[in-house]
Amino acid sequence: MTRTWLHLPALAWAFLIAISTLRAASAPDVIVAADGSGKYTSLQDAISAAPMRTGRNDPRWVIFVKRGTYRERIYVQRERGNILVRGEDAATTIITYDQHANLPGPDGKPIATYRTPTVHIDGDGMIWENITLANSAGPVAQALAVRADGDRLVFRRCRFLGWQDTILVNRGRHYFEDCYIEGHVDFIFGGATAYFSRCHLHCLKDGYITAASTPDGTQHGYVFADCRITGAEGVKAYLGRPWRNFARTIFLRTEMSSVIPPAGWDNWGKSDAERTTFYAEFGSTGPGANPAARVPWTKPLSAADVAALTPQRVLGGADRWDPAKP
């Protein structure tokens, strides 16, 4: 006798329902393909066509981006933030542009850093997966790959390529998981609260990895957990320097190559910042881990402090946001 769905045991029912739900959740609303095989050839066009969904419980609009190089600048307005952009493969699905701070604007003056991003996100609740976000301007000036102004932003298995000022986490709360981030000077900077889990940070030349501008009174700035730091041969790069005097940056259980100098941190020539910053490490490993030689104004962390530095605790806020359930 042929078994039908009506005769399936309870566990089999649960499995089939779960599979059906997963397929429905992952099915894209639109496909972007550079070769014309999708509905759009431009990611910006696909984002601009997304419905106005701003509520936390609104269904998330899913955009699938096929392999290819998309040379375009992306802007996600606040009313369209509730979007998932999923690339086919992070290494070969690339969004790139080359705008930099020294380019002249309409008034003939340099446009400056904030107007350079390849991807600018104003909307809340956006997710990016399996994609490269790059600024290809190179060593000419500040040139953002991403400017993040929205809240509750998630990046998983993404690559961020740039030189100076690769990622501006400007405001809001952001979660990065299993990402690759490269740059030279201050290539992660800004005033947001951001959590980096199992990320690979690669230093292209002598410089600084972070330049936090955490507002005074903010509990958390940047937390890097279980990450890895590498660099080009002979490069030396500090873990951070304070763009603003209340910068907060913490590294937990991070593997550090010899790219990190013994002092670890730099005060940006501001001795007063040594009293107000919160720079700390816990469980660093590798040739660049040298707690005895670190600058004396770094802060200690206890095991209890570290236990509280989970993504949910750091990013939760008043609404108890959990980046694992965005």
List the catalytic residues: 165, 186
Computed on alpha carbons and rounded to an integer, the radius of gyration of the chain in Å comes to 21
Give the integer Cα–Cα distance in Å for 277 and 96.
34
The shares of helix, strand and coil residues in the chain, as percent rounded to the nearest 5, are 15, 35, 50
Two structure tokens written together for 79: 């009313």
In Å, what is the CA distance from 83 to each residue of 60, 153, 323? 5, 10, 15
Two structure tokens written together for 190: 């800004």
Give the integer Cα–Cα distance in Å for 130 and 62.
13
Query: Cβ of 37: how many Cβ atoms within 10 Å?
Result: 10
Two structure tokens written together for 179: 């990402």
Tokens 């790959």 belong to which residue?
145
Query: What is the signed CA dihedral for 53, 59, 64, 70, rounded to 10 degrees?
Result: 20
Nearest partner of 79 among 48, 47, 110, 52, judged by Cα: 52
